[in-house]
């Protein structure tokens, strides 16, 4: 194994701190051995890690417990396996690393459906992003690890993965110049949808939420109009905002049946409805097929993102399309991970919450 100096050489006898979730209300800061790397792997000292909105869905995250939290991590390579020497990665590189990576050769990868690749589904970072060190396995290192420009801070880079998910979703929805886009739910992912919808040429963007803080941020992000659903029926608000045409694309952020059903109702003829977040297992969405059919409504899902999406997201941040300083609203230390998760779960006066490391 190789490192910049002898101080970076280590064995599993050395410990690191991690944030481990046992239940939604029980996140503990623990010590565990720093992972030993294989010949094709890399060890990264984590510099920052974002908290994903999916991580604060109790039904989704608790089924994986106990686990070391976090996947929106970035950092600096401190050690490389011997087979990585001479390749495009080296000790000292600042990197973004996706927690999943595809094989690129299966039938799904050849279609660009990376998230359906069995290698993608099995791959992971070890032990998780909210950890002082992370092992990047060879498949992730080769498949979806990107070098960071010195012009991009580690904090900015925590938005690469969530932004990549938005890139993928809007591509699947086939957004076109001149579209009217409705974004339901104005947390960080809703805000990023607004920014990219504007970038991709949407003529009118409408944001909907019940939290004033997020409604105001949506205006700054580029929404032409916002609807406070605590006082206005969403369908009525969209009808008035579009002179009855409704939306060409509806992005449904919340992972619940009510929001999904409303999203379908707000789509105009020939429109598309993007389900960006999953609903609970067992939840059932009732549809009127004749209504969907004769209005030609497309229902689309978008799960995670692939290597092409992360590259595009990185470039969008570098180009200044996404002003990360506006969206990273709170920073916590590793020791305060529980507080960071509680704030994110409240979904009130915050957008992106990140964990930073010394």
Residue pLDDT, tens place only, 125-135: 999 999 999 99
Q: What is the mean pLDDT of residues 248-261?
A: 97
For 82-104, the pLDDT digits (tens) are 998 766 789 999 999 999 999 99
Contact 136, 125 (CB under 8 A): yes
Q: Quick count: other Cβ atoms within 10 Å of Cβ 330?
A: 15
Residue 59 has pLDDT above 90, yes or no: no
Burial class (CB in 10 A: 0-12, 13-18, 19+), 147: middle
Q: Give residue 98's pLDDT.
A: 98
Instruction: Give the three-class secondary structure for 264.
Output: helix
Residue 7 has pLDDT above 50, yes or no: no
The answer for 63, left when phi > 0, alpha when psi is -120 to 50, beta otherwise, is alpha
E strand or H helix that includes residue 325 = helix 324-327
Q: What is the C-alpha to C-alpha distance for residues 28 and 10, in angstroms, rounded to an integer?
A: 25
Residue 136 has pLDDT above 70, yes or no: yes
How many C-alpha atoms does 200 have within 13 Å on its Cβ side?
23
Q: Give residue 13's pLDDT.
A: 59
Contact 193, 53 (CB under 8 A): no
Contact 81, 40 (CB under 8 A): yes
Q: What is the mean pLDDT of residues 108-134?
A: 97
Look at the alpha carbons of 327, 330, 331, 337 in this order and tell me if their dihedral is positive or negative.
Answer: negative
Backbone angles phi, psi at 189, to 5 degrees: -70, -35
Residue 126 is classified by DSSP as B
Q: What is the mean pLDDT of residues 225-230?
A: 97
Q: What is the mean pLDDT of residues 71-75?
A: 97
The Cα diameter of the chain in Å comes to 69
Q: What is the mean pLDDT of residues 244-248?
A: 98
- Considering only CA atoms, give the Rg of the chain: 21
Q: What is the C-alpha to C-alpha distance for residues 146 and 98, in angstroms, rounded to an integer?
A: 9
Higher pLDDT, 357 or 4: 357
Higher pLDDT, 259 or 60: 259
Q: What is the mean pLDDT of residues 239-263?
A: 97
Q: What is the C-alpha to C-alpha distance for residues 154 and 175, in angstroms, rounded to an integer?
A: 30
Burial class (CB in 10 A: 0-12, 13-18, 19+), 162: buried
Least confident of 6-15, 21-30, 258-267: 6-15
Q: What is the C-alpha to C-alpha distance for residues 308 and 144, in angstroms, rounded to an integer?
A: 9
Q: What is the mean pLDDT of residues 114-119?
A: 98
Residue 4 has pLDDT above 90, yes or no: no
Q: Give residue 87's pLDDT.
A: 65
Q: What is the mean pLDDT of residues 73-80?
A: 97
For 273-321, the pLDDT digits (tens) are 999 999 999 999 999 999 999 999 999 999 999 999 999 999 999 999 9
Angle 10-15-18 (CA atoms, 0-180°, nearest 5)? 125
Q: Find the Cα–Cα–Cα–Cα dihedral 87, 91, 95, 100, rounded to 10°.
A: 60
Q: Give residue 86's pLDDT.
A: 63
Least confident of 39-48, 77-86, 188-197, 302-311: 77-86
Q: Give residue 54's pLDDT.
A: 87
* Residues sharing a CB contact under 8 Å with residue 236, sequence separation 6 or more, in sequence order: none
Contact 121, 100 (CB under 8 A): yes
Q: What is the C-alpha to C-alpha distance for residues 347 and 270, in angstroms, rounded to an integer?
A: 32
Which among 349, 56, 51, 353 is positioned nearest to 215, based on CA atoms?
Answer: 349
Q: What is the C-alpha to C-alpha distance for residues 147 and 134, in angstroms, rounded to an integer?
A: 16
Q: What is the mean pLDDT of residues 317-333?
A: 94
Q: What is the mean pLDDT of the chain?
A: 94
Model pTM above 0.75: yes
Q: Give residue 85's pLDDT.
A: 72
> pLDDT band for position 65 (50/70/90)?
confident
Q: What percent of the chain has pLDDT over 70?
A: 96
Q: What percent of the chain has pLDDT over 90?
A: 89
């Amino acid at each position: 194994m190789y490192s910049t100096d002898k101080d970076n050489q280590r064995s599993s006898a050395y410990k690191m701190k991690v944030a481990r979730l046992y239940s939604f209300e029980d996140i503990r800061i623990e010590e565990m051995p720093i992972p030993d790397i294989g010949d094709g792997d890399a060890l990264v000292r984590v510099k920052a890690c974002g908290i994903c909105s999916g991580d604060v869905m109790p039904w989704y995250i608790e089924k994986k417990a106990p686990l070391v939290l976090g996947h929106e991590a970035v950092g600096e390579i401190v050690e490389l396996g011997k087979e990585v020497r001479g390749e495009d990665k080296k000790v000292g590189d600042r990197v973004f690393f996706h927690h999943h990576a595809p094989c690129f050769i299966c039938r799904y990868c050849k279609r660009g459906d990376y998230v359906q690749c069995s290698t993608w589904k099995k791959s992971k970072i070890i032990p998780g992003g909210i950890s002082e060190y992370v092992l990047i396995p060879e498949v992730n290192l080769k498949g979806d690890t990107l070098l960071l420009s010195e012009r991009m801070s580690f904090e900015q880079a925590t938005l690469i993965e969530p932004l990549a998910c938005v890139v993928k979703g809007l591509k699947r929805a086939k957004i076109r110049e001149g579209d009217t886009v409705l974004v339901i739910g104005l947390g960080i992912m809703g805000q990023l949808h607004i920014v990219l919808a504007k970038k991709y040429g949407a003529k009118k963007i409408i944001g909907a939420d019940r939290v004033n803080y997020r409604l105001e941020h949506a205006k700054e992000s580029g929404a032409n109009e916002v609807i406070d659903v605590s006082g206005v029926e969403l369908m009525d608000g969209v009808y008035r905002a579009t002179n009855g045409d409704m939306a060409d694309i509806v992005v449904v952020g919340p992972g619940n049946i009510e929001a999904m059903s409303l999203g379908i109702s707000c789509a105009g003829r020939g429109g598309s409805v993007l389900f960006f977040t999953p609903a609970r297992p067992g939840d059932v969405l009732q549809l009127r097929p004749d209504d969907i059919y004769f209005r030609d409504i497309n229902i689309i899902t978008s799960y995670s993102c692939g290597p092409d999406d992360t590259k595009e997201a990185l470039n969008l941040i570098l180009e200044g399309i996404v002003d990360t300083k506006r969206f990273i609203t709170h920073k916590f230390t590793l020791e305060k991970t529980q507080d960071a998760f509680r704030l994110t779960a409240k979904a009130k006066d915050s957008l992106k919450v990140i964990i930073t490391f010394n």
